[in-house]
Amino acid sequence: MADGYTTRDAADLPPLEKRPLFRPLPPPPEYPVAALGPLRAVAEAIQARTQAPIAMCGQSVLAAATLAAQAHRDVELPGGGRKPLTEIFVSVADSGERKTTVDRIALAAVYRVEERWRGEYEAALTSYRNDLEAWKEAREKAKKGAKGDRGLIRSSLNAIGPEPKAPPQPMLLISDPTPEALVLHLRDSRPWAGVFTAEGGILLGGSAFNDESRMRTGALFNTLWDGEPIRRSRVLTGAAFLPGRRCSVHVMMQPVVADKLFGDAMLDGIGMLARTLLVAPASTAGTRMYREPPEHCRAVLADYAARLEHLLDQPPATSADDAQVLEPPVMLLAPDAAEVWKRFHDHVEGALAAGGAYRPIVAFGAKLAEHAGRLAAVLMLYADPDAMEVSAEAMACGIALAQHHAAEMLRLQGAATISPDLRLAQRLLAWWQAQPGGACHLAQVYQHGPGAMREAETARRIIRLLVEAGWLVKLPAGTELDGAARREAWTLVP
C-alpha cells in the first residue's frame, strides 16, 4: 500500500465497483443549419468538401461574414441603442476534425483580398516614402527661408500641411496578438481586423493569455465587442485613443484548450465569456468515407467568395476628420422584426429568473437577445450589401442561432471544471481497453500510450486514478509481460 496502489492477484476478483471518472456530457444539440439563411448553402458546401461537423462549417462561414460586415453597418436594437456587428466565435473539436481545412475554405476570399492589398501596399509604400522625404525637405527649406521669423515659420509650415500618413498594412487577420499589438494594429493599419486562428492552443497558450496579459486581452475584446473607444496609455507604446474600431474573433481549439478558456473564472467574471458564441459538435471521424463533393459546391463557394470580397473591397464609412475612425451607417429593424426581437427579449428575460432555463448562464443570457440582433444583421448584410433594414426572416434566423449557442453554453456548463488528469485518465482507459489481453506494464504505458504521458511519473499518477475508480488492478511484482518480469503492471478489471 505504500506506493498508493492496492495490490491484488487477478484471481482475487470480483473487483471493486467501477465508477465513472466524471459525468459524461449530453450529446450536442442539432445545429440549426436552416437558420444560417443565405449562408446555409455555403456551410453545406464546405461540409460536402470536408465532411467536418456542420456546426463547425456554419460557425466558420458566419464568422467570416461577420468579419466582412462589421466595418459597414451597426444595428439599432429596441431600447438597446446602437450595436456593432462584431462577435467572438469559438469552435471546439478534437485534432483530426479538419478545423484547419474548414477555416481555410471559409477564409479563402479574405486571403485573396489580403494578397491583393499586399501588392497595392508595396506600390503605396514607395510613394509614401518619397512624399515623406519631400515633406521633410520642404519643412527644412521653409524654416531656413523664414530667417528666424516665428510667425513666418509657422505660416510656411502650415502651408506645407501635415506629415504624410503611411499606407495601411495589408494584413486583416491576426492569429496570435498581444493586447498591445492588437491596439497598434488597429491604430496603424485599417480600423477593423479579425483575430482568427484554427490553432487556439497557440493563442490561449501564448502571450495574449498568459498570467500577465489575459485580463488585458479579455478586457480589450470586451471593449471591441461593445464598440467603445480604445483608451490606452503605455510608457513604450504611448497614448492611444481609438474610437470607431471593429474586431471580430474566431478561435478553433481542442477540448483541452477550451477547458482552460471556459474554466477561467477571471474571464468569466469580467464578461468575456458572455460575449462568446460557442459550438462543440460531435465528431464525424469514422464516417468520412471518400466521396466527390457535388458539382454545385464550386458555384456556391464562388458566389460566397465574391460576396465577401465585395464587402471587404467596399470603402467603409469613416469620420470626415479622420479616415481611421469608422462611422458605419445604422441598420434598423423592420417593424415586424422589431416585434419578433422584443418577444424574444422578454422570453429570455423571464428565463433568467430564479429557476428559469437560462438562470445557470445568466451573464450569457443577459446578452442573448443582443447576440440574436447582431447575427440577424450580419445575415441581412451578407444577403444584400445595400440593406439598411433587418427583416423579420433574418431576425428569426438570428434568434435560432442564438438559442443554439445558449443550449451549448448550458450543456457545457461545468465541463471546464473537470481536471486535465481525469480527462487524461479517460483517454488512457480507452487506449488500454483496445490493448489485447487487458494487462500492461508501466513502460508500455508511457512509451506507447496517449501522447500526454511520456514520463513514468505522469503515467503512474494517471494509472492511480484508474485504480481508485475500480477500472484497473495492480498485478503482483514479477508478473511476466512482454517476455520479462515486471515490477509495475496492471490489468483491466472485468
Residues 439 and 445: beta-carbon distance below 8 Å: no
How far, in Å, CA of 89 to CA of 275, rounded?
9
C-alpha cell at 261: 478558456
Residue 476 CB contacts under 8 Å (≥ 6 apart), including other chains: 7, 9
pLDDT of residue 236: 61
C-alpha cell at 442: 508501466
Give pLDDT tens digits along the chain (494 positions): 334 444 444 444 444 578 888 777 788 999 999 999 999 999 999 999 999 999 999 999 999 999 999 999 999 999 889 999 999 999 999 989 999 999 999 999 999 999 999 999 988 999 999 999 999 999 999 888 888 889 999 999 999 999 998 898 899 999 989 999 999 999 988 999 999 999 998 898 888 898 888 999 999 999 999 999 998 766 565 677 899 999 999 999 998 888 888 888 899 899 999 999 999 999 999 999 999 999 999 999 999 999 999 999 999 999 988 889 999 999 999 999 999 999 999 999 999 999 999 999 999 999 999 999 999 999 999 999 999 999 999 999 999 999 999 999 999 876 666 677 888 898 899 999 999 989 999 999 999 998 878 899 999 999 999 999 999 999 999 999 988 999 999 999 98
C-alpha cell at 257: 484548450
pLDDT of residue 237: 58
How far, in Å, CA of 352 to CA of 362, rounded?
6
pLDDT of residue 19: 86
pLDDT of residue 15: 47
pLDDT of residue 7: 45
pLDDT of residue 2: 39
pLDDT of residue 211: 86
